[in-house]
Amino acid sequence: MNKIPALDGCRGLAILLVLGHHFFGQYFPFDAGWTGVDLFFVLSGFLITSILDNMDWNRSNLLRFYRNRALRILPLYFLLLSAFFLWVFFAKHSTVLPGLQYFKEHLPSYFLLTANWPMLRNSYPPLPHLNHLWTISIEAQFYLAWPFFVHLLGKYPSKRIPLLLFSVIMVILFRGFMHSQYHKPTGSENFFNTFSRLDCFLLGTMAYYLGRCTKSDQTILTSGAGLAGLILGTYWWWNKGFYKETPFMETTGFSLVAIIYAYLIYSTSKSSGNFIGRVMQQQWLTIPGKYSYGIYLFHWLLFQSFQIPAYRAFAHLKLPAEYHDLAIGVFFTFLSFAASYLSFHCFEKYFLSKKLPYIKNGLSPDTYPI
């Protein structure tokens, strides 16, 4: 599958939603910004399936796949983790003391990319600097398992869509069980649960396969997205906010959000000339999309580390109260962009250059381009 530039726009939309939720969540429509991580998950399902479906299934390619994924996510992730934990354990600053015991107990989970699992029991850690890294853990666990799942789907090409739909239904039922038996006020029993978030990856995979089906088959996603939009729009209006900590959202709503995002990605990938494709190619989306991984890792860590001095500095500007939080959000948005730009060009690109192409139809890596 050739690179589709407009999909960078989908990444850009996802990271802008996340930034909006964390920095401007009190403003409409950023109360729905938490769904940005769902868009990332659906996009991963689409893109990873497209990679796996277009490479030969053999040990060499499988190892190359894991190597390439590791080169993309691990260097910057481990660098930031190491810097943060050095500060936590050696700074002995009063601000880190509440989280010291938690991080001592769960330190391995961050480096083993299983940090989401302790959050099922404890919800958010006492020190919030790394709260956002649960998504990286889920992504990494998805990378480990998905090659085998796609290989299994490849054995039953005519049954792919029914199998994927059945799997999504099973995820919804699983979330219902978790909510009924282990519910917490924060909804952590589902929100941070790898199995509860599999529907995003499944629907991303479905969007990829539907792009290769007949037009009649593709109406499944179009109709589903329309119905999901109607239900979620009503939910948003009725509750006067797009809250995730409700029984509806924790059980069924997550999947409805993922259906809409699957349709967005499907439409973007089908044609760059349609309305959605043209919007997703706008630079205000594709540029943030290019640097989205670094922005995601940096933004919350920077905000939690420097929000107190930033608030003190902005207090001297004597801004009207209603603009103070807005100005802080804009400042940390630009700071996150700057940090990710420097990180990408001065650090990440070196590791990305080490990624290896996949062998296709017996061609050697030298003759089969990415």
Which tens digit of pLDDT belongs to each residue from 3-30? 788 899 999 999 999 999 999 988 888 8
Q: Tokens 């497209």 sit at which residue?
A: 50
The band of 322, judged by pLDDT with boundaries at 50, 70 and 90, is confident
**Comparing 60-69, 115-124, 128-137, 197-206, which segment has the lowest mean pLDDT?**
115-124
Residue with the larger pLDDT of the pair 223 and 91: 223
Answer yes or no: is 308 within a domain.
Answer: yes
% the chain with pLDDT above 90: 68
Flag whether pLDDT at 329 surpasses 80. Answer: yes
The average confidence (pLDDT) of the chain is: 90
Phi, psi of 331 (to 5 degrees): -60, -50
State the CB neighbour count (10 A cutoff) for residue 139.
21
> Stretch 270-295: mean pLDDT, rounded?
91
| Count: domains in the chain | 1
Q: What is the dihedral of CA 29, 179, 48, 214, to 10 degrees?
A: -80
Q: What is the mean predicted confidence (pLDDT) over 277-294?
A: 95
CA nearest to 65, candidates 78, 54, 76: 54
Residue appearing with tokens 């381009």: 369
Residue 96 banded pLDDT, cuts 50, 70, 90:
low
Q: Classify residue 360: in a domain, yes or no.
A: no
12-21, 62-71, 126-135: the lowest-pLDDT one? 126-135
125: left (phi over 0), alpha (psi -120 to 50) or beta: beta
pLDDT of residue 146: 97
Residue length of the chain: 370
Residue among 6, 58, 42 at smallest CA distance from 135: 42
Given a cut of 90, is residue 292 above it in pLDDT?
yes
Is the pLDDT assigned to residue 236 strictly greater than 50?
yes
pLDDT at residue 218 greater than cutoff 90: no
What gap in Å lies between CA 51 and CA 2, rounded to an integer?
10
Give the Cα separation of 226 and 349 in Å (integer).
40
Q: What is the pLDDT of residues 338-352, one digit of tens each?
A: 999 999 999 999 999
> What is the model's pLDDT at position 22?
95
pLDDT band at 366 (very low <50, low <70, confident <90, very high): very low
26: in domain: yes
d(CA 293, CA 75): 12
User: Looking at the domain assignment, is residue 78 inside a domain?
Assistant: yes
Name the DSSP class of 55. Answer: S
> Is the confidence at residue 97, as pLDDT, over 80?
no
d(CA 133, CA 188) in angstroms, rounded, equals 14
Cβ neighbors of 36 (< 8 A, separation 6 or more) are: 13, 14, 15, 16, 17, 18, 20, 21
Per the listing, tokens 């991984």 go with 293
**Would the pLDDT of 261 be above 60?**
yes
What pLDDT is attached to residue 82? 94
* DSSP three-state, residue 226: helix
Is 368 a residue whose pLDDT tops 90?
Answer: no
Q: Kindly state whether residue 42 falls inside one of the protein's structural domains.
A: yes
Residue 363: pLDDT band (50, 70, 90) is very low
Structural domain of 338? 6-352
Q: What is the mean pLDDT of residues 305-325?
A: 85
Angle at which helix 198-210 crosses helix 215-239, to 10 degrees, equals 140
pLDDT-derived band at 271 (thresholds 50, 70, 90) equals confident
Flag whether pLDDT at 197 surpasses 50: yes
Per-residue pLDDT at 364 exceeds 50: no
pLDDT at 256: 97
How crowded is residue 114: how many other Cβ atoms within 10 Å of its Cβ? 17
Nearest to 142 by CA among 185, 107, 113: 113
Instruction: Kindly report the pTM of this predicted structure.
Output: 0.94
Is residue 367 in some structural domain?
no
What mean pLDDT do residues 136-161 have?
Answer: 95
Whole-number Å distance between alpha carbons of 314 and 146? 46
Contact yes or no for 139/44 (Cβ under 8 A):
yes
> Can you give the pLDDT at residue 361?
57
Q: What's the angle, vertex CA 209, arms to CA 205 and CA 210, rounded to 5? A: 110
Whether 368 maps to a domain, the answer reads no
Q: How far apart are CA 288 and CA 8, in angstroms?
A: 8
Q: Is 358 a domain residue?
A: no
Q: So what's the pLDDT on residue 210?
A: 92
pLDDT tens-place string over residues 72-91: 999 999 999 999 988 887 76
